C-alpha cells in the first residue's frame, strides 16, 4: 500500500528510465508527483518486465503501492 508521503513526493524522471519513457509521450515535465507516476506505471503494468527494471525503479513502484504481476 502506498503511503501519502510517497504519493506526494516529486520524482525526477531522469532517475527512472522506464518512467521517463512512459511519461515522454504525455508531458514535458522533468519531475512528477507519486500519483502521476503511479498512474503511468499502472497503465503499462501488463507490458512491464519486472526482471529488466532497475532496483531503484522497482523500489519506487513498490513504494507507490504497485506489485509485480506475472
Domain count, the chain: 1
DSSP 6-31: HHHSEEEGGG-HHHHHHHHTT---SE
User: In this model, does residue 69 exceed pLDDT 70?
Assistant: no
Tens of pLDDT, residue by residue over 4-43, are 899 999 999 999 999 999 999 899 999 999 999 999 999 9
Answer whether residue 55 is part of any domain.
yes
The pTM (predicted TM-score) of the whole model is: 0.90
Q: For the chain, how far is it from start to end, CA to CA, in angstroms? A: 19
Answer whether residue 68 is part of any domain.
no
For residue 70, what pLDDT is reported?
Answer: 58
For residue 31, what pLDDT is reported?
Answer: 97
Answer whether residue 12 is part of any domain.
yes
Domain that holds residue 51: 4-63
Closest CA to 18 of 33, 5, 42: 42
Distance CA 57, CA 51 (A): 11
Amino acid at each position: 500500500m502506498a503511503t501519502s508521503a510517497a504519493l506526494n513526493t516529486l520524482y525526477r524522471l531522469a532517475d527512472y528510465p522506464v518512467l521517463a519513457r512512459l511519461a515522454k509521450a504525455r508531458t514535458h515535465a522533468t519531475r512528477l508527483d507519486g500519483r502521476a507516476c503511479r498512474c503511468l506505471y499502472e497503465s503499462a503494468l501488463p507490458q512491464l518486465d519486472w526482471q529488466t527494471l532497475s532496483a531503484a525503479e522497482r523500489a519506487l513502484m513498490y513504494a507507490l503501492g504497485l506489485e509485480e504481476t506475472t
